[in-house]
Amino acid sequence: MDFTVFAQQIANGLVNGMAYVLIATGLTLVFGVLRIVNFAHGEFYMLGAYITYFVGTLFGLDYIAAAAISAVVVAGLGVAANKLIFWPLRRDHEFTILLSSLGLALLIANGGELLFGADPKYVESPFADEVLDIGTVTLTQQRVLVFAAAVVALIAVYLFIRYSRFGKMMRATAQNPDGAALTGINIGLVHTYTFALACGLAALSGALVGPTVMIFPTIGNWAVLKGFIVVIMGGLGSVTGALFAGLLLGVIESLGGGYISLGFMEAIGYAMIIAVLLWRPNGLFSTARGLR
């Protein structure tokens, strides 16, 4: 086995994996804190990529500003989705919540196709064509940016959950929503900013990955699938689990695509979750209820 090729595959896998982690973190936060399985999560990733594209082309803003604006706008849209659908349904059965999030996903994806057109678009980024050599590994600057920005965002999220007042309120809600409400925590507020945070992260991921691929209105579907594989593998509600599972999935897909078959690469992820779930039905990093 050629070491250079191998190292390159690992590096590509880590970059892809980091993007998966960013998607999955929002998904797992929404589940861990609010007990909502949000099938529409991938659509916020799609919106993140498209809003970055439109802010860049229509208003002529540079890529970094466009990405930041898109993250903020999509966080706002996430809050709106929460207010309209998830908050009113919070006392309903999980089946109802699952179905309504599926409806929301179809609504955004098809609405996106209507608004943006089905043809692929390219997100412009000044880093997309510049190449960086790290030892024997060659990556575009954009892919390095995906990894670096994701690491910074994840550390910020970790510090936020661990030390801020809002983060403590989130963890309290995750452990016991009724108990948290009794101690005076505003659960409605926790709902709002958990959605803002999760959807903002999804949009950031879309804005970062956008320039490395073509974007379609249906990429949300792909994103939510990857997110779910990672979240299920790591354990629903576990942020640490999402980190390890995301990187693992990225690397395994990359190696599988390189050494086995590109066509069946997609199936590898699914085969992985099935294997994990048969072995540990609650995921690799699951323990009792709460945010980890």
Partner 1 sequence: MNTNSHGQSLGQPLAIAGGVAALAVLPFLAGNAYLEHLLVLWMLYALLALSLNIVIGYLGELTFGHAAFVGVGAYTSAILSTQLGLPPLLGLPLAGLVAAGFGLVIGYAALRVVGPQFAILTLGFGAILFTITNHWVDLTRGPMGITDIPPMAIGPLAFDSARPTYYLVLALVLATAYLCHALVSSRTGRAFLAVRENAPLAASLGINVFHTKLMGFVAATAIAGIGGAIYAHYIRVITPDIMGVHNVAALIIVVIIGGRGTILGPILGALVYIGLLESLRVAGPLRMVIFAALLTGTVVFLPGGLISLWQRWRNAHKSENNLPATPTGLPSTEGGAK
Residues lying near partner 1 in the complex (CB under 8 A): 31, 37, 85, 88-89, 92-96, 98-100, 102-107, 110-111, 113-114, 118, 221, 225, 228-229, 232, 236, 261, 263-264, 266-267, 269-271, 273-274, 277-278, 281
- Residue closer to partner 1 (CB basis): 185 or 258: 258
CB of 222 to partner 1, least distance (A): 10
Nearest-approach distance from CB 157 to partner 1, in angstroms: 22
Of residues 9 and 221, the one with the C-beta less far from partner 1: 221
CB-based burial label for 234 (10 Å; 0-12, 13-18, 19+): buried
CA angle 11, 14, 18 (to 5 degrees): 145
List the end-to-end C-alpha distance of the chain, in Å, as a whole number.
38
d(CA 143, CA 29): 25
Residue 238 in contact with residue 24, Cβ under 8 Å?
no
Q: At its nearest, how many Å lie between partner 1 and the CB of residue 241?
A: 14
Q: How far is the CB of 146 from partner 1 (least distance, A)?
A: 24
Query: Which one, 111 or 188, has the nearer CB to partner 1?
Result: 111
Q: CB of 151: closest distance to partner 1 in angstroms?
A: 27
Determine contact, residues 174/33, Cβ cutoff 8 Å: yes
Name the residue nearer to partner 1 (CB basis): 163 or 270. 270
The least distance separating partner 1 from the CB of residue 98, rounded to whole angstroms, comes to 6
Question: For tokens 């399985």, what's the residue?
Answer: 37
Sign of CA dihedral 169, 170, 171, 174: positive
Distance CA 207, CA 68 (A): 9
Q: Which tokens belong to 223?
A: 């994103």
Residue 120 vs 126, nearer CB to partner 1: 120
CA atoms 236, 241, 247, 251: torsion sign: negative
Cβ proximity to partner 1, 193 vs 228, nearer residue: 228
